[in-house]
Amino acid sequence: METTNLTADVLVIGFGKGGKTAAHVLADAGQRVVMIEQSENMYGGTCPNIGCVPTKMLVHYSNAKRLGDHAQEYFAQSIEGVRALTTAFRAGNLESLQRKGTATVITGTASFVDAHTVAVGEGDDRITVTAPTILVNTGSEPILPAIPGLAESSHLVTSTELTKTSNLPERLVVLGGGYQGLEFASIYRHFGTDVTILEAADRLLPREDEDIAETVAEILRGDGVTIITGAHVTGVRDNGATSTITYEKNGQTHTVEASALLPATGRRPVTAGLRLDAADVRTTPRGAIEVDEHLRTSQPHIYALGDVNGGEQFTYISLDDARIVLDQLTGQGKRSTSDRRAVPHTLFITPPLATVGLTETQARAQGLNIKVAKEKVADIIAMPRAYTVEETRGVMKFVVDADTDLILGAALLSIDAQEVVNTVALAMRHNITATELRDSIYTHPSTTEAFNEVFDKVVS
């Protein structure tokens, strides 16, 4: 058996946002970089292939559907549009790295041989790569809950499959009311699917304030989504064209039929098959690669970036992970995860919910002296944009320190919230007060000019 032996300055395992960003910078600096990605369908990582890009494109398509459009035909056309864009992005990601003179991309499954060497493939196709610095960026994968009959169901679908199939399901049942579950519920309801959400908790979005979560539920129900909270799923049974999902609520047993069943109950780091033990790389009890504030593993020359290190599962966190690692490798080595402040998040339902910082509940639990500014979007006179785009649902809510006037947190459930929240987050990072945001000049009509009014709507 012959093995091809390669050496590199930096080995990157996983073509995700953090890994590819670091690979580009290091290759541009003249370092020899080898990138290993297990699937030719994942060049560029989760976001452009099966995550952010396809799902948000489906949000756009689903909201653009007209009353006269045939649901199945329109959906199939939408999926073709998604395929075309993701294919272009995937090719672009590969080509942009491959064309660098000091970068090589290898497609195959990587496993550690020792702390400095990784093997790809077997037999005559076996390649080993040895490097003094290794970055692991293998991402995360969906968790399949241990529900009798679920794994065997022919109607079980993953989020990846839902972004690729051309067949619009007649009845979609979503297990879990978190970000992923609510986004898919909103998307498919707008396409015309009958959607039911089964959530084990007493309400949706338990980490958000109850008034915000309830407004989200009202919007989804208004769109026709059936939401059942306090539902504990006990079994799945296939019946030909559908599955029967059995659940318990308030001591009673109920059933719901589904032609497609999506578990949206979380994701776990992808470490199986890496043979981390061969490199003496430690993992956490939850299966993530253990890292310090500089993203170093138990082997100081091995770093873990993105979902695999157990941090927040967002593309922009993976990007910031790359900044931290690059500062270690080529900078001053000062940047760390502790530098992160006011990191925003967006739930892409329609309209989107964007949040940053503390909720009102969290602030009061900490004993902070706060005031809360809150107003329904439909009542914000200073924000006519909501009326011009015919989307007046939602609410804006800010938690403000009553002593310093600094913004502690925000929940923006409104048109353009995914953009507006970035302004709020920037203000929080640079200690810009609520009064300054209120009295600033904004373009008109825009969503940001809601600040001119909402900060005066103190409700508690």
Report the run of H or E that residue 323 belongs to, with start and end.
helix 315-330
Q: Which two tokens stand for residue 6?
A: 């390669």
Cα 170 to Cα 159: distance, rounded to the nearest angstrom: 16
At a CB cut-off of 8 Å and minimum separation 6, what does 108 contact? 36, 38, 120, 121, 125, 127
CB distance 433 to 408 below 8 Å: no
User: Rounded to an integer, what distance in angstroms lies between the CA atom of residue 421 and that of residue 427?
Assistant: 10
Tokens of 447: 């969503």
Reduced to 3 states (helix: H, G, I; strand: E, B; else coil), residue 34 is: strand
What are the phi and psi torsion angles at 294 (to 5°)? -105, 10
CA atoms within 13 A on the CB side of 140: 27
Any bridge partners for residue 355, and if so which? 345, 411
Largest CA distance in the chain: 74
With contact defined as beta carbons under 8 Å apart, do 407 and 367 qualify? no
Beta strand 370-376 pairing with 407-413: unpaired
Helix-then-strand count for the chain, H and E? 13, 23
CA distances from 66 to 54, 63, 74, 76, 83 (A): 20, 8, 9, 15, 22
Distance, CA of 42 to CA of 44 (rounded, Å):
6
Burial 221-260 (b: 16+ CB within 10 A, else e): eeeebebebebebeebeeeeebbebbbeeeeeeeebbbbb
Residues marked as catalytic: 444
185 and 221 in contact (C-beta within 8 Å)?
Answer: no
CB atoms under 10 Å from CB of 433, counted, come to: 16
